[in-house]
Amino acid sequence: MDQTLFDGIVATTVQTPRLRAQVLERPAADASKTVVFVHGNVSSSLFWQPTMLALPDDVRALAIDLRGFGGSETLPVDATRGLSDFADDVASVVETLGLHRVHLVGWSMGGGVAMQYLIDHPERVASLTLQAPVSPYGFGGTGADGSLLTPDAAGTGGGEGNPDFIARLAAGDTTADAPASPLSVYLGTYVKPPFTSEHDQIWVASMLTTATGIDNYPGDGFPSENWPGFAPGTRGVLNTMAPTHLDLTGIVDVADKPDILWIRGADDVIVSDTSLFDLNFLGQLGVIPDWPGADVAPPQPMIAQTRAIFERYADAGGSFEEIVLPDCGHSPHLEHFDEFLAALVRHIG
C-alpha cells in the first residue's frame, strides 16, 4: 500500500472528459451528505486525510487532486482563465461521480478554486468552508479596494517563484538543508513554528507531487518597467492568482448563497495583510531592494479585502462566519485539528 495513504483512505482514478484525476475517499456506508475537499498550491489531497477520517460516519469525504498535483494528470494551466481550469476540473469530477449538492472545503489557492466553483455552480454547493483562502482579488499587486497598483500588476504571478525552491521541488528534496527546501518551507510558512507532526514527511511528499514548469508551477512571466521588474504571464499556477486574471468578487452576485465558514490562523504568513510571499511587503522590509515606497507599492491587505467581499456577500442575502485561531499559521486543519474539525462539522451539519 502507498505509504502516504492513511488506513481508511482509498485512492481511485476518475476519468472525466477534462482530465484523469486522482480522488481520495473516506467512504461512508449510508452517507447523508458529501464533503469535497480542494487542496492548496504546492500540496495535494494527502493533507486532508486526518480531517476526512475524523468526520462523522454518515459523511462521504472526497478529496480531489488538481491538475499537476498529487496523482492527477499533468495538464497545462491556462492562467488567463484565473482559477477556472482548476474549478472546471473539480466540476468534471463531481459530475462524473454523479454527485449533486456537496459541501465544499477549500484551502489557500483551493479556497479560490472553491469560490470560482460557487460562482459557476451555485446550485450545487450546500455549504462553503474556506481555510486561509486567497483574496478574491488575487495574490499581490492590489490596493484595499482591489484596484491594480500598476496596469500590468508588476511583482505578481510566475516571476514570484523562488528558483531554488522550484529546483528542489523538481529534484524531490526531502531534507531541511536549506531555507528553500520544501521541508523548510513547510515548517517555516505552512505552519507556525515550532509546530511539527508525526506526518511531516507525508506532507512533504505531498508538496513534491507538484509538477514544475511554465505550464504548471510556477508559470511564466514578462518583463515590466515597474518595480520589481516583472509582470504576470499567461501560463501556469502562480499566474492564475495574478490580479490581472483572477476576480472572485462574483460570489456576491450568485443567486443561491450557501453559508460560508472562513477559518484562518492569526499568525498566517502566506495569506495575510503582511504576507511574506507579497513582494511589496518584502520590499517594505528591505528584503527586496529599491522598493518605491508605500505610496506606489503597498503590501496587499488580503484579510481586509476578503472580509469586505464577505460582508458584501452577507449584505446581498448570504451569511458568513469568520473564525480566527490564535497561535496558528496557514494550516488550521493541522495545527488546531480539534477546533477546525468541530467548526467544520458544525458548519456542514
Q: Residue 133 carries which side chain, given as an amino acid letter?
A: P
Closest by alpha carbon to 41, among 60, 69, 81? 69
Average the pLDDT over 149-157 and give the result: 98
Rounded Cα–Cα distance for residues 146 and 137 (Å): 6
Query: What pLDDT, in 10s, does the model give residues 264-298?
Result: 999 999 999 999 999 999 999 999 999 999 999 99
**Any residues with CB less than 8 A from the CB of 347 and at least 6 apart, and which?**
103, 127, 129, 259, 261, 321
> Does residue 2 register a pLDDT over 80?
no
The residues with which 33 forms a beta bridge, in sequence order, are 59
Average the pLDDT over 40-67 and give the result: 98
Handedness of CA 141, 267, 158, 46 (dihedral sign): negative
Residue that the C-alpha cell 502566506 belongs to: 270
Average the pLDDT over 81-90 and give the result: 98
Mean per-residue pLDDT over the chain, rounded: 97
Confidence of residue 99 (pLDDT cuts 50, 70, 90): very high
Residue that the C-alpha cell 448570504 belongs to: 318
Query: What pLDDT, in 10s, does the model give residues 177-219?
Result: 999 999 999 999 999 999 999 999 999 999 999 999 999 999 9
Average the pLDDT over 93-105 and give the result: 97
Query: What pLDDT, in 10s, does the model give residues 304-323?
Result: 999 999 999 999 999 999 99
- CA–CA distances in Å: residue 344 to residues 127, 149, 209, 317, 341: 10, 36, 27, 22, 5
Confidence of residue 83 (pLDDT cuts 50, 70, 90): very high
For residue 31, the model assigns a pLDDT of: 92
> Does residue 221 register a pLDDT over 60?
yes
Asked if residues 148 and 141 have their Cβ atoms less than 8 Å apart, the reply is yes
For residue 1, the model assigns a pLDDT of: 40
Strand order of the β-sheet with 33-38 is 10-15, 20-26, 59-64, 33-38, 102-107, 125-131, 260-265, 320-325
> Does residue 106 register a pLDDT over 90?
yes
Confidence of residue 335 (pLDDT cuts 50, 70, 90): very high
For residue 238, the model assigns a pLDDT of: 98
For residue 146, the model assigns a pLDDT of: 98
Task: Count Cα neighbours of 159 within 13 Å in the Cβ-side half-sphere.
Answer: 19
Query: What pLDDT, in 10s, does the model give residues 4-33?
Result: 999 999 999 999 999 999 999 999 989 999
For residue 201, the model assigns a pLDDT of: 97
Residue that the C-alpha cell 504548471 belongs to: 216
Average the pLDDT over 48-54 and give the result: 98
The residues with which 324 forms a beta bridge, in sequence order, are 264
Rounded Cα–Cα distance for residues 57 and 123 (Å): 25
